[in-house]
Amino acid sequence: MENTVIDAHNISKTYDPTGIPVPAIRNVHLHIAKGEFVALVGPSGSGKTTLLNMIGGLDHPDSGNIIVNGTDITALRSADLVKFRLHNIGFVFQAFNLIPVLTASENAEFIMLLQKEKKAKRAERINGLFKQVGLLDKKNTRPAQLSGGQQQRVAVVRALASKPQFVLADEPTANLDSAAAFNLLDIMAALNREENMTFIFSTHDQRVIERAKRVITLVDGQIVSDSTKLPL
């Protein structure tokens, strides 16, 4: 399929920190196409973070393959994996997203800087995105002076700035109040529409789930349902 971004085939992961094996992901198959807006839901401990980390090349499955845009990332060496993440995957984390000593725009351009993009190109892209997320006046503000929602918006801008294959967001709204959570989801949805950016985010917030076009439910490391809403 030409517009496939992620193709996870029969992946499993078991943690064994204390000698008692804990299966976190069991025989998961996952297929995500370009431009999808996917919510990964499930109770705490169901394996959402583990799955996202493996799709994002942060963690290795014990078995199975993950193909991202034609590359089998489970076969990459760790140094190549770092490069692959830098050029292909955008991340928004639940917390610790921003570097406190850098301003909002310096944080936002961090990935483009690591990619060695030219200054003019960085500025243009960051300014455009800051305008879209309504943060143009906070460009030179340090994270500590921003609200939680504003910080997450900066993280979303950073993830999108380098135009990755897809953006992974692990519980991006978990630390936000509902107004800020909806606002962030609206912004992500808008960017999904306008830039045709693929988003996969995990959440256990029912109201946030309603915004998703496709909802994948995990229980005990297995996909128990995968439903796509038909456009109204």
Partner 1 sequence: MIIRLAWRNIWRNKMRSMVIIASVTAGLFAGMSIMSLYKGMMKSRIRTVIDTETGHIQLHAKGFMGDQDPKRYVQEDGNKIIKLLKDKSIRAIAQRTITAGMVSTPNGSSGVSIIGISPEEEMRVSGLGKKMRQGKMTWPSTTRGMLMGKKLAKKLKLTVGEKVVITMTDTADNLISAAFRIQGIYQSANAPLDEVNVYVSRKELQEMLGLENQVHEIAIVLHDDRLLDSTTQWLAMEFPTLAVEPWKALSPETSLMAETVDTLSYIILVIILVALSFGIMNTMMMSILERRHEIGMMMALGMGRLPLLVLIMTETFFLTIAGIPIALVTGRTAIQYYAKKGMDLSGMGREMMESFGFETMIYPDFPSDKIAFIIALVFATALVSSVVPILKSLSMNPVSALQK
Ligand X SMILES: Nc1ncnc2c1ncn2[C@@H]1O[C@H](COP(=O)(O)OP(=O)(O)O)[C@@H](O)[C@H]1O
**Which residues are near partner 1 by CB under 8 A?**
53, 56, 58-59, 79, 82-87, 89, 91, 93, 95-97, 99-102, 106, 110-111, 113-114, 158
Q: Which does 111 bind (CB under 5 to 8 A by kind): Mg ion, ligand X, partner 1, none?
A: partner 1
Task: State which of residues 48, 122, 138, 158 lies at the interface with ligand X (CB under 6 A).
Answer: 48
Break the chain down into helix, strand, coil percent, rounded to 5. Answer: 40, 30, 35
Per-position b or e across 205-222, b if 16+ CB within 10 A of its CB: beebbebbbbbbbbeebb
Which of ligand X, partner 1, Mg ion, none does residue 172 bind to, with CB < 5 to 8 Å depending on kind? none
Distance CA 155, CA 95 (A): 10
15 contacts which partner out of partner 1, ligand X, Mg ion, none, CB within 5 to 8 A by kind? Answer: ligand X
Phi, psi of 153 (to 5 degrees): -65, -40
The count of chain residues that interact with Mg ion, using the rule CB under 5 A, is 1
Nearest to 176 by CA among 200, 156, 196: 156
- DSSP assignment, residue 226? E
Q: Which residue is nearest to Mg ion (CB)?
A: 49
Q: Does 22 bind ligand X (CB under 6 A)?
A: yes
Distance of CA 184 to the CA centre of its chain: 13
Considering the rule CB under 5 A, would residue 49 count as an interface residue with Mg ion? Answer: yes
Q: Which of 8, 30, 32, 47 binds ligand X (CB under 6 A)?
A: 47
User: Least distance (Å) from partner 1 to the CB of residue 229?
Assistant: 31
Decide whether 162 or 173 has the Cβ nearer to ligand X: 173
State the Cα angle at 79 between 78 and 81, rounded to 5°.
Answer: 60
Residues that bind Mg ion (CB under 5 A): 49
